[in-house]
Structure 1
Amino acid sequence: MAKAGKKYQDAVKLLETGKVYTVEEAVDLVKKTATAKFDETIELHVRLGVDPKYADQQVRGAIVLPHGTGKSKRVLVFAKGAKVEEAEAAGADFVGSDEIVTKIQGGWTDFDVAVATPDMMGTVGRLGKILGPRGLMPNPKLGTVTMDLGKAISEIKAGKVEYRTDKAGNVHCPIGKASFDANKLVENLNALMDTLIRVKPAAAKGQYIRSVTISSTMGPGVPVVHA
């Protein structure tokens, strides 16, 4: 661990104590601090002035990032009849109904996003205790319970990400990879921030955006100026 610790310390030295960076400066810095041997994910962390204990202050939704996340997502679709062919034609990785339910009940969760047609939700509901805690349950608010499977699958494959507040009112969301051009990371970050500001709950009081930080998988957080 000493080696990783040294890399982290070297990365921290690139940051000026107490300084808050513009989006462009922060992206350049976070790319410099991503020194791992793999292509690190760049994440945006936003602390919101909300109390997620209250349903009317929870922030949750999904957005297709302009330049995707750099990660190919495996999509599972719960469907039957003609919808099976539609899902397969749209590029779903796994498609099925009862047999997929049985497989998941047996411990299989080798997929990143689950989509379902509305008529399948009674069947999918049996998996609530397995899929719910993993954030894999299809949800109409996120566009993953739909009859338009083609649109849902193409958006997920194009880089659709889900954002949601945790118990402390923070949102953590990937905005790309360290190998991305800086301008693509900037555009993805701005798109996500614009969305978070647009979906501000009416019940949120006081300052809404409390702090914004970006970091790579192994690097330190870089504070970003926010409006």
Structure 2
Amino acid sequence: MAQKITKNIAAARAQVEARPYLLTDAVPLLQKIKFAKFDETVDLTLRLGVDPRHADQMVRGTVVLPHGLGKTKTVAVITSGDRLKEAEAAGAEFVGGEEMVERIQKEGWTGFDALIATPDMMKSVGRLGKVLGPRGLMPNPKTGTVTSDVAAAIKEIKAGKVEFRTDKTALVHVPVGKISFPPEKLIENAMTVISSVMRAKPSAAKGKYVKGITLSSTMGPGISLDGSVADAAAKS
């Protein structure tokens, strides 16, 4: 559904020039033109020169934001034995075994932001693809959510670990914090994300890898970033 153009949205858009901005200019501008009465999430959208229809050009990874996301993620862990107590001690809000698998499967329960599973439970967790897959919650070894070291995985997620992956249009959408963050914290989080996406470039990708980057908030307009941002991130 298209966003309804209100007076506030039109006024915010009018303050964004049709040109690319440096990240150090884009963040203060986004904060200046905000009008929503809640603490909006700030997002980065990267348009990549890959063809996600080919598995060897899929871009996927995780990154721990140095300043977090401004909220604590709710973590669920599916495990067994001694790791049940380990997960509880590490701060997981929900910990269980087969009974949690059944709850998710039968009730469609997804009252958590991240799900970790130990390798011994993946045979059971594999049945949950239809529920968890569309929500991006399926545990995966590549993102560190299938692991025997549940305490370390919980710590990373609580510290601000986010996942990124290309969608079918070769776009990557990643949250980088809240609009209320000090500008320098949003800038550092954003640069950390861009650096991680740059490092995740598939060897099969040909031509220009990052074709465009846009910074936006939940209600605000998109601000196009200068290509030098990606170049600087690649060197960091």
Match of 1:166 in 2: 167
- Seen in structure 2, the aligned counterparts of structure 1 residues 3 and 117 have a Cα distance that, compared at 3 Å, is closer
Q: Could you tell me which amino acid in structure 2 is paired with residue 178 of structure 1?
A: I
Match of 2:31 in 1: 31
Match of 1:213 in 2: 214
User: How big is each residue's C-alpha offset from its partner over 1:145-170, in whole Å with a ceiling of 9 and x where there is no partner?
Assistant: 00111110000000000000000100
TM-score (norm 2): 0.93
| RMSD, aligned α-carbons | 1.3
Match of 1:12 in 2: 13
Alpha-carbon separation, structure 1, partners of 2:126 and 2:54: 24
Alpha-carbon separation, structure 1, partners of 2:67 and 2:5: 30
SS in 2 for 1:132: helix
Alpha-carbon separation, structure 2, partners of 1:175 and 1:204: 25
Match of 2:143 in 1: 142
User: How big is each residue's C-alpha offset from its partner over 1:154-204, in whole Å with a ceiling of 9 and x where there is no partner?
Assistant: 000000000000001000000000000000000001111111111111111
Report if aligned partners of 1:52, 1:166 keep a CA contact under 8 Å in 2. yes
Q: Could you tell me which amino acid in structure 1 is paired with residue 65 of structure 2?
A: L
Aligned residue runs from structure 1 range 1-227, under 5 A: 5-17=6-18, 19-105=19-105, 106-226=107-227, 227=231
Alpha-carbon separation, structure 1, partners of 2:99 and 2:178: 35
Q: Could you tell me which amino acid in structure 1 is paired with residue 84 of structure 2?
A: V
Q: Could you tell me which amino acid in structure 2 is paired with residue 61 of structure 1?
A: G
SS in 1 for 2:68: coil
> How big is the shift at 1:33?
2.5
Alpha-carbon separation, structure 2, partners of 1:3 and 1:198: 37
Alpha-carbon separation, structure 2, partners of 1:14 and 1:180: 21
Percent identity between the two aligned chains:
56
Alpha-carbon separation, structure 2, partners of 1:161 and 1:154: 12
Alpha-carbon separation, structure 1, partners of 2:203 and 2:33: 37
Runs of 4+ in 1 over 2 A off after TM superposition: none
Alpha-carbon separation, structure 1, partners of 2:6 and 2:72: 30
> How big is the shift at 1:31?
1.2
Alpha-carbon separation, structure 2, partners of 1:174 and 1:127: 26
User: How big is each residue's C-alpha offset from its partner over 1:46-89, in whole Å with a ceiling of 9 and x where there is no partner?
Assistant: 00000000001000010001111112211000011100000000
- Seen in structure 2, the aligned counterparts of structure 1 residues 101 and 143 have a Cα distance that, compared at 3 Å, is same
Alpha-carbon separation, structure 1, partners of 2:108 and 2:4: 36
Alpha-carbon separation, structure 2, partners of 1:121 and 1:16: 50
